[in-house]
Amino acid sequence: MKILDTKFVQGFIKMANDGYLQGWHERNGGNLSYRLKTDEVESIRPRLMDHGQWHPIGASVPGVAGEFFLVTGTGKYFRNIIVDPEASIAIIEIDEKGENYRIRWGLVEGGLPTSELPTHLLNHEVKKRTSGGVHRVIYHAHTTNVIALSFVLPLQDEIFTRELWEMATECPVVFPKGVGVIGWMVPGGRDIALATSRLMEQHDYDAVIWAHHGMFCSGETFDLTFGLMHTIEKSAEILVKVMSMGGRKLQTIRPDDFRALEPQFHIELPERFLYEKEDPAEIGGPAKA
């Protein structure tokens, strides 16, 4: 079977195009990666190059040493992935120490994997460990409404999570662990990679908001990861509209309402997000002591 015909490559291409159609990938914005299963690697191994040059990752990721990843290329446009995937994406192999990578397929016109590769691999390493190996997709997109909120909401996990949860009943069901938030940092570097991985490890977040930049999500499959990103961004869009209409809510979902969802949907919501507000109609944090 040709590599382009495999189910995982086709799923990767579809997800990338879905994100572009949402308007989340202007120019060369955003990136996507997928950790291949063993049987997927074996099914394409005869078609992989074996003479690629090794390059430093920029981070040590021994937890994914020897693994293969499908990734978007740096400087490549999401809008072109569906048109010319072999020039836009690549399969890379991580060395036995987890310190270097080499291209085994793709990027036929030259180039390197996404500049966010250290962030992707560090978080793949974390989510592989914390999810028991089931998480395989990492996705970063420039989600418009989430970015807008990062200019007007306090950059606190509790406030972002609570306000997003209140916008639609499905939100605490889709992301019951909440969302993490990181203040502005230089993208593509070691610092933002470590900050994101710390949040994903300490709180087991599947989604982290990068202030003034976008969102970073992890999931088991392409559908679940895209669905997570899509749900959070739609909730952010509703919140932006509520704020633009004056920001004062006549009614909302209250802490006990959220608690009532737990037995029905078999979820456990962290109590730190279920604080009482001084004024439930306002957008913001808990009541002052």
Catalytic residue among 40, 67, 93, 116: 116
Query: Do β-strands 55-56 and 180-182 pair in parallel, antiparallel, or remain unpaired?
Result: unpaired
Reduced DSSP (H G I as helix, E B as strand, rest coil) percent helix, strand, coil of the chain, to 5: 40, 15, 40
Q: Reduce the DSSP state of residue 6 to 3 states and report it.
A: coil
Kindly report the backbone phi and psi dihedral angles of residue 2, in degrees, each rounded to the nearest multiple of 5, phi listed first: -70, 145
Provide the token pair at 284: 């913001």
In the residue annotation, 237 being an active-site residue is answered as no
C-alpha–C-alpha distance, residues 225 and 265, integer Å? 19
Strand positions, DSSP E, the chain: 31-35, 55-56, 68-72, 89-94, 100-106, 137-141, 180-182, 207-210, 214-219
Beta bridge partners of 105: 91
Beta bridge partners of 141: 215
The 8 Å CB, 24+ separation contacts for 173-178 are 173/261, 173/265, 173/267, 174/227, 174/228, 174/231, 175/206, 175/207, 175/228, 175/231, 175/232, 176/267, 176/268, 176/269, 177/203, 177/204, 177/205, 177/206, 177/270, 178/203, 178/205, 178/270, 178/273
- Contacts of residue 258, Cβ cutoff 8 Å, sequence gap at least 6: 165, 172, 269, 273, 274
For the CA atoms of 57, 5, 207, 224, the dihedral, rounded to the nearest 10 degrees, stands at -160
Provide the token pair at 5: 């015909």
Catalytic annotation, residues: 116
